[in-house]
Chain A
Amino acid sequence: MEVSPQYAVQMHGITKRFGAFTALDEVDLDVRKQTVHAILGENGAGKTTLMNILYGLYQADEGGIFMNGQQVNIANPNDAIQLGIGMVHQHFMLIENFTVTENIILGDEVCGAAGVLDMRKAREEVMALVNEYGFDVDPDARIEDITVGMQQRVEILKALYRGAEVLILDEPTAVLTPQEIDKLIEIMHDLISKGKTIIIITHKLREIMQSADECSIIRRGVYMGTVDVKQSSETELASKMVGRNVNLTVEKTPAHPEDVMLSIRGLTVKDERGIEQVRNLDLDVHAGEIVGIAGIDGNGQQELVDAICSLVKATSGTICIAGQEIQNTNPRNVLNHSVAVIPSDRHRWGLVLPMMVEENTVLERHGEDLFGKGIMLDYDKLHDFTSKLIERYDIRPAGCEEERMSGLSGGNQQKAIIARQVSYVPDLLIAFQPTRGLDVGAIEAVHKTLIGERDRGAAILLISFELDEVMDVSDTIAVIYHGQIVGTFAQGTVDENQLGLLMAGGEAQ
């Protein structure tokens, strides 16, 4: 496509390599002024890399960038900011113990003589912006005290404060409720009407249909073309993104719940600061069913899992596995009650990355006689055991038993964790964000495994920040808000809007 001033941003023939990997291979992008342009692709397809190049965080190995018809050179974020580009990262780039104002002015401070901060003037400038765009943000609040939605608006303000004309939003809806997403789309359209251009990175099809004018698709670092969203459909976008026809629904048979496996009554958990994160929570999970917990990050999900695992102390309440109380014991005791957990952050909680794959597959079970008598650990047995898991769960590369776990891709690391947890044949399987960062194929495999375990008779507790996942996979849906279960529904008896309202602390109609 030719270079023209009617485009706010054009990136032509962008190639980026990391060592031997080619993350982007001659990718093109043409963004018309005053439009919302979506970039669609799976996790790891290269969307974020492309935008990091536009923002000057990486340098392209080949290719050129043009703005308003002029070639530009972006060597670092400063250049990007000068050119009027602002970026809101998926994981917010906010300093938690700074105030909203401090975060907004950082790097472009309002100063008196000799670099002395003029906080009063800074606050006025921030307030002016807040009023102009009608954002509901307190300039004096600390980031750690405000909601995720507000933090996102602070990020947008940061860009606007620097005079951004082109705004890049990286997976902006991942952490929002449906209502907050609606509000964000409203903000986006308002910004467009005020002359801004927006690039939104996402893998969520519905939001593209709702918000974007055009959509460029990247698959495994290769540009697959740009479509006019109004002329397209979700299924068309999906097949372009994945490269084959995908089934967007999860197939499963009705559940046959049996006895209660996990029973929580009146559970209260405080964090280190003494604030109640889980408050008087009740929950039952039966054998043979999947209970999904919907909720926004930070509403007590982590503390709930930690309390079940006895990683933190419960202030009050009981947690029973098959009728036996296990609260406030220790993680080993909980595991001995046939509980297996797929943790939310696999690098932090799930794996010992510098150790070998075959060592990682027995993290909970290395003490068993199966893996060596007495004090010795029998590495031949670890090897055989791991080979079976690798084959059965298609962990790649084949024959990676003695590779370091850090050498595997994220999807395969997750497969290894799930293989390990399922290998215990648990009575209760807790899956916390089990598909985080995985691509469509891997997500399907995880969901199949969860349903398979349910059909074997295990009780499954699924906790996810992805509302679609909870709605598609669970037999029973519970909503968590401020550490309490605020609603429980059988699958199919509740719609997204009702759940969204509950997740945000409202009342369901």
Chain B
Amino acid sequence: MESIILLLSITLMYSTPLVFGALGGVISERSGVTNIGIEGMMVIGAVAAATASYFTGNPWIGFLAAGAAGALVALLHAVASVSFAADQTISGVAINMLAPGIALFACRFFFDGAAMSPIATKLPGAVFGNMSINITTIIALLFAVIMWFVLYKTKWGLRIRAVGEHPAAADTLGINVYRVRYACVLVSGMLAGFGGASMTIAIISQFTQTAISGHGFIAMAAVIFGKWHPFGAYGACLLFGFTQALVVVLGGGNFIVPSQILSMLPYVMTIVVLILFVGRSVAPKADGVPYVKGSR
């Protein structure tokens, strides 16, 4: 029983960064912009959170700094993919190369050439018996609900979905496609930044080079698996968080499988899930297609 609660608690913990990343993916792709740069934005968020939290002693400032830093990097992606109609995959990849460079540079700059930050103040959590839940887990759930409400119950959501499905149609009705996409990509970066923060100032308490290792891409897989729906993505992240929890729980004990092989589990699981679900999940029609005024 105890180990089940432990597993559940670790699952929630490890799924939280993924949830933020996946929600970022949902909002961006719903507006028609593929955001492969989620990973890079999470890395930036991770370093910003740890640094700001360390220097101010206030983890909430770290959390907000992470969102702002993620959004700033997302601005680059928005400029490239919305204004310049660039190849969104290349732009995202470039951001994924740029971000670790910036993160490490900043880390070494602030912490005397060290590739990892000192221990920073963590965000608070609540303990229920054997179960501990960090506040970020609750914020993530809250964001999922808010995003669902915005996307499906408000006019902004209607417009975002319209822009992601048929931008020319939205344009003819006077909806500014570029503005909607800019906003969604920026929000996407902010959420990814929060995701990075919930790794470095909630799960662990410092920035390291491998703090974010493929989480952004797993989050993207969760977007597909979750059919571009906030709740679907949330559920998918729980599954992926569970596999990571398994790695942590089993890796610590005397399990027969070598730890290196066990570490592959989340990545293998992602591929398996994609094989099973990718064909049944339909992306927004204009996802990844730059909108150029006048072309249809």
Whether A and B touch (Cβ < 8 Å) is answered with: yes
A interface residues with partner B (beta carbon < 8 Å): 52, 55, 57-58, 76-78, 81, 87, 89, 91, 93-98, 102, 105-109, 111, 114-117, 158
Chain A contacts for B161, CB-based, 8 A:
95, 98
Tally of B interface residues using CB under 8 Å: 22
> Across chains A and B, which 3 residue pairs bring their CB atoms closest together, nearest first?
A107-B173, A78-B174, A93-B169
Given contacts A57-B294, A106-B173, A106-B175, whether A94 and B166 have CB atoms under 8 Å apart is yes
CA distance A102 to B158 in the complex (A): 8
Chain A contacts for B133, CB-based, 8 A:
none
Given contacts A95-B165, A116-B153, whether A109 and B171 have CB atoms under 8 Å apart is no
The residue from A76, A95, A97, A116 contacting B169, defined by CB atoms under 8 A apart? A95
The residue from A58, A78, A91, A107 contacting B159, defined by CB atoms under 8 A apart? A107
Chain B contacts for A77, CB-based, 8 A:
171-174
Chain A contacts for B175, CB-based, 8 A:
106-107
B interface residues with partner A (beta carbon < 8 Å): 153-156, 158-159, 161-162, 165-166, 168-175, 285, 293-294, 296
CA distance A478 to B211 in the complex (A): 66
The residue from B153, B162, B172, B285 contacting A57, defined by CB atoms under 8 A apart? B172
| B155 x A109 contact (CB < 8 A) | yes
CA distance A258 to B171 in the complex (A): 54
CA distance A109 to B168 in the complex (A): 18
Chain A contacts for B293, CB-based, 8 A:
57
The residue from A58, A91, A111, A114 contacting B294, defined by CB atoms under 8 A apart? A58
Q: Is the interface of A mostly helix, strand, loop or mixed?
A: loop
| A93 x B172 contact (CB < 8 A) | yes
CA distance A105 to B159 in the complex (A): 10
| B171 x A95 contact (CB < 8 A) | no
Chain A contacts for B170, CB-based, 8 A:
106-107
B255 shortest CB reach to chain A, Å:
43
CA distance A76 to B177 in the complex (A): 12
The residue from A91, A93, A117 contacting B154, defined by CB atoms under 8 A apart? A117
| A117 x B155 contact (CB < 8 A) | yes
| B174 x A98 contact (CB < 8 A) | no
Taking CB as reference atom, which chain A residue is nearest B168? A93
| A117 x B166 contact (CB < 8 A) | no
CA distance A81 to B173 in the complex (A): 8
Chain B contacts for A55, CB-based, 8 A:
172
B52 shortest CB reach to chain A, Å:
31
Chain B contacts for A95, CB-based, 8 A:
161-162, 165-166, 169
CA distance A186 to B179 in the complex (A): 40
Chain B contacts for A158, CB-based, 8 A:
173
A-B contact pairs, 9 of them (CB 8 A): A55-B172, A57-B172, A89-B172, A93-B169, A95-B165, A98-B162, A102-B158, A111-B155, A117-B158
| A87 x B172 contact (CB < 8 A) | yes
Taking CB as reference atom, which chain B residue is nearest A108? B173
Chain B contacts for A52, CB-based, 8 A:
294
CA distance A114 to B156 in the complex (A): 10
